[in-house]
Amino acid sequence: GLAQIAQQVQNLTGAKNVRVKTRIDPELIAGFTIQYGRDGSSLIDMSVRKQIEEITSEFEMPAVTLDV
């Protein structure tokens, strides 16, 4: 559950206090992102959208527009 996710985020980031807020974001297509840091400026992006952006960048393809 959420407590396990919070524990893993603490392990990954070294943060002492982790607050988990869930939100559905259709723009991610699938997957998840984790914002952390005092001001939320650090990001772990494990979304399908990010993977598509990386693939198109790797092959120097034009940006893909996805209507979700």
What does pTM read for this prediction?
0.67
pLDDT for 57 equals: 85
Query: Are 64 and 54 within 8 A, CB to CB?
Result: no
Q: How far apart are the first and last CA of the chain?
A: 27
pLDDT for 28 equals: 93
Domains of the chain: which residue ranges?
A: 2-58
- 63 pLDDT band (50/70/90 cuts)? low
Distance, in Å, from the CA atom of 51 to the CA atom of 56, rounded to the nearest integer, reads 9
Dump pLDDT digits (tens) for 6-56.
Answer: 899 899 888 888 888 899 999 999 999 988 888 888 889 999 999 998 988
Nearest alpha-carbon partner for 46 in 60, 29, 63? 29
pLDDT for 13 equals: 87
